[in-house]
Amino acid sequence: MKLKVISKDGKDAGELNVSFSVIDNAKGTQAVHEAVVAFRAAQRLGTAKVKMRDEVSGSGKKPWRQKGTGRARAGSVRSPLWRGGGITHGPRQRDYTKKVTHKSAHLALRKAFSARLHDNDVVVVDNLDLDSHKTKGLLQLLDQLAIAPGATVLLVDTQDKLKDATAKLRLAAGNLLLVDVTAGRLLNTYQVLRYDKLIIAQAAFAEVEQRLIGGK
């Protein structure tokens, strides 16, 4: 499979051969589902928590004697029946992460990326270097690449260019709600499927290929 490479001004800059095995059938669909569910579950903090009767403040003394008062029996002011008492069946701290095998995660990424290639949603650019960190320059780049207004876009560059918090591409995309930035070595299945267009620098595309070939 061959992909067209374009320059930042939208002109033809050659082509490249896809070196990993592209999936053309339904293989990997379940793996994609598992990978997306696991990714979204990992985003949940799981910090919601209520206090049970052994955690709320209050004396352990019996409020009044068992019989003879005319009132209902009570053993503790920390009872869930009392105002300020413990909560029953409330949320507790938990870990929502789900395990996905390395082989399944690799298959999911390859399946998702193959599907986006077949749908022509992957745009390979010779480079994503910007002259300035200003958002205006990035908007001009997206316009030259014929990205439709309102489309969600994921910009993928090499990790070396994005590891610094002051990287121009990262700063330029900071004010754009529909644009996100990641590195080829960090690209995951959820990101591949979430955005309308994937704009990948040619060097970053090589990083993704190495992951899909080597299973990393």
Q: Is the dihedral of CA 141, 143, 145, 148 positive or negative?
A: positive
Residues 171 and 137 grouped into a single domain: yes
Residues 108 and 145 grouped into a single domain: yes
Domain of 148 in residue numbering reads as 2-44+99-214
CA angle 6, 10, 13 (to 5 degrees): 30
Q: Give the whole-angstrom CA distance, residue 66 versus residue 200.
A: 74
Residues 178 and 190 grouped into a single domain: yes
Residues 122 and 176 grouped into a single domain: yes
Residues 136 and 73 grouped into a single domain: no
pTM of the model: 0.84
pLDDT at residue 12 in the model: 84
Residues 52 and 20 grouped into a single domain: no
pLDDT at residue 215 in the model: 59
- Element holding 113 (H helix, E strand): helix 102-118
Domain boundary among 95, 128, 155: 95
Domain boundary among 80, 95, 110: 95
Residues 107 and 178 grouped into a single domain: yes
Residues 106 and 200 grouped into a single domain: yes
State the CATH number of the domain containing residue 190: 3.40.1370.10
Q: Give the whole-angstrom CA distance, residue 165 versus residue 163.
A: 6
Residues 124 and 59 grouped into a single domain: no
* Number of structural domains found in the chain: 2
pLDDT at residue 8 in the model: 86
Q: Give the whole-angstrom CA distance, residue 134 versus residue 4.
A: 28
Residues 187 and 146 grouped into a single domain: yes
Mean pLDDT of successive 10-residue stretches along the chain, which has 216 residues: 87 87 91 97 95 93 96 95 94 94 96 95 93 93 92 94 86 94 95 96 94 76
Residues 12 and 55 grouped into a single domain: no
Residues 118 and 64 grouped into a single domain: no
